[in-house]
Structure 1
Amino acid sequence: MRKFGLVLLSFTLFISLARAQQKHTLDKIAAVVGGSIILQSDIELKYATYLAQGNPANPAVKCQIAQSFVTQKLLAAQAIIDSIDVKDDEVDADIDRRMRGMIGRAGSQDRLEQFLGRSVIQYKDEIRPDIKEELIAQKMQQKITSDVNTTPEDIKKFFNTIPKDSLPTFNKTVEVGEIQFNPKLNETEKAYFRAKAQDLLDRVKKGEDMGALARLYSQDPGSSLQGGDMGFADRSTYVKEFTAWAFRLKAGELSPVFETEYGFHFLQVLERRGEQVHVRHILIIPTVTDASLQRAKAKADSVYDFLTKNNKISFSNAAAYYSDNKDTKYNGGMMLNASDVETRTTYIPTDKLDPQVALVVDTMKVGSMSKPLLFTDAAGKKTYKILYLKSSTNAHKANLVDDYPKIKEYATNDKINRKVSEWFQKRRKQTFIKIDPEYQQCTNMKGWASPVDESMVTTTPAEVKP
């Protein structure tokens, strides 16, 4: 099942802003790049998305958006020359990923379609050309920078160009491993919660309204307010047990009560559309018992004793074998820096650590393990953990010895940015670019417009009407 955190308010804001701007803004051509046009409404819609994500109003962002559209058009035009394309299934996969996010924020596909004022199928058809162009532009940029190679000499040279008084200060960073022990209910303890779900299923079968029961009793925060309605989704959306029942049943059929990692469910298929299914469900989440917590602690104590008395097994191997945390057990138990998901680094600033973990790690020596401790996450879930401090670096001014990986990343990004910038400088001199006066005032757009007559444009776009 999906982890739902319904953000309906921000999604509604996104749609409201988009509609308001479509209604009140007289559409115009914001820029022309070769034979392609960029509309004001394109920029406004992307700015609405920016606001809907909780960002503060900032007109300068529109300048950045305008520039991103111009650069995308330039890259896409070069991609045609270089025969760079994306496969239809790549485009479809990206669109489906975006749509799952939008449906999740809206709460259901019906709600999304209501906000959009069109069916999801229609909307996907409308955005498909833009998404394809965006993916092609990304591939083109990757080709431009594919030969970028950062040598140790490049890294040293880049570091030496930074004025000493401008060197960044890095916070204390640590590498922390964990072996997590989740409390697990035995079959006797589970029986009570399974029976609650079965009782609700029996009531539905006797004619009670499933939507009403879901609003009253379902413990899925993302769908209960919608009567358990989860909208349309494909097979990749749910955990395997949920998927198995959702795609096995016919429209109108009810599943029996079944168990997933989230608890006990039963679902009803409302509609099927090709490889997507529309379901509603009711979830009962089992409550951790004192006895299950004690069993988790006993197992954690046992593993800790084994590790401290046996030097033949490494912490990483023990984590892979014993840990219940799927996010870290296959990474040698090492936590990843959640604020830097792209690099998947294990170096975590202490201010980015879970405060409970940071408090424990602060008392540990490098290479040591903590005794099993009880932790409670933001949702109130309790687990026992053994922590391992692999490394620790105090707050300091950047240097090549302690921060080589970070400086290498900065140096590589700088080299990539310069390569891309050089390409754009050359390309934009060879392409007719017209910028609306509103965006010629943007600092980042100065010098982009062609100092030539408009007759150079390959295709003169028709006037855009509101």
Structure 2
Amino acid sequence: MNVKTKLSDCLRPLMLGALLIGTVAHAEVRSIDKVVAIVDNDVVMQSQLDQRTREVQQTIAKRGQGVPPASALESQVLDRLILENLQLQIGERSGIRITDEELNQAVGTIAQRNNMSIDQFKAALAHDGLSYNSAREQIRREMIISRVRQRRVAERIQVSDQEVKNFLASDLGKAQFSEEFHLANILVPTPDSATSDQIQAAAVKAKDIYGKLQQGANFEQLAISSSASESALDGGDMGWRKAAQLPPPFGDMLSSMSPGQVTPPARTPGGFIILKLLEKRGGENQTQMRDEVHVRHILIKPSEIRSEAETKLLAQRIYDRIQNGEDFGELAKNFSEDPGSALNGGDMNWVDPRSLVPEFRDVMNETPQGVVSKPFQTQFGWHVLEVLGRRATDSTSQAREQQAMTVLRNRKYDEELQTWLRQIRDEAYVEIKLPGADQAAK
């Protein structure tokens, strides 16, 4: 496995939906450079565009596919850089900061997951022609973007008990506990409040792409050159999805398809989507027993008025108070900023470790029962936790409801993220200065 692919795979868990293949390093600023886009209060430089384009080309080459010329990729890559820039500006205005300590912890986690020491990690980057400092900076950027998306998108998603019940009673809900699909997608977007002419134009473009695929065109290359999806520069690869996580037209369609087949274009809130089925897994023989952990926690979040350092210090003070004999539950009620558990003294009840973010799951798994963990950080903020019990259990209705809740939240997040990205792009002042490109400003 080449180092660049390996690093990208390690970075992937740090993001809510974001894919990082080919985005690790940035070029050093050259003596001769120019602005290719004005983005609100910031700019995108030609050097950034050139470096990112080269990385995309290298990633495509590693897959053994024909490499498109830079001119065919520049528009797509520039649009991705503009969206990243806008999200970083939102993070700056919101007071989101990544301290050196947090960054060092993230880099250490990446190296550890790749079975490397920090020195080995640096050597691996150098061997692949990547700068360690540039890699650190890209990790910092991705962490900021992740937190921006958490605050602006994930935190406002709500799933009702009735939605969960309806989902479990549906055919898609039943399918949730069976097959999974490895998918790639091509998205032809439509604007918010699109006119009939705009919808028709998008439909024609999607139909044209589908026709090329039916005639044997390469899906990855068409995704890279023509798709507006978040995963476009990765050849459209979405990873594994349950049928229930997909827009309704695709559930039944994929169940009857074979790997390698492509769906006709289907209209979704974001535009017209074409899916390619890459692999299937799961089905009839699923393990009925699973480990569960009874855990409670206290969450302290950074905010516009509380810095990361102050947040960490408050979490440490709460931990010290627990160690000095104060009641965990009362402190959770008074301080925890997790609305789902604070009023219950921080009690999350019995949870499937697989449903938790990796940082929380790792600390929970390493903490003995009855012991309070030292403060630690996840994408949500700073936590202390206590493990109250462990058990192996059958798949209960409660567990199914929790899985359904997760699926519905993920589905809503995917849809809401695309809507939000279009919104911030539409509301921003963007002036494209790339030679040969149309000027666009708002």
Normalising by structure 2, report the TM-score.
0.36
The structure with the largest alpha-carbon Rg is 1
Q: Which has the higher contact order (CA 8 A, sep 6+)?
A: 1
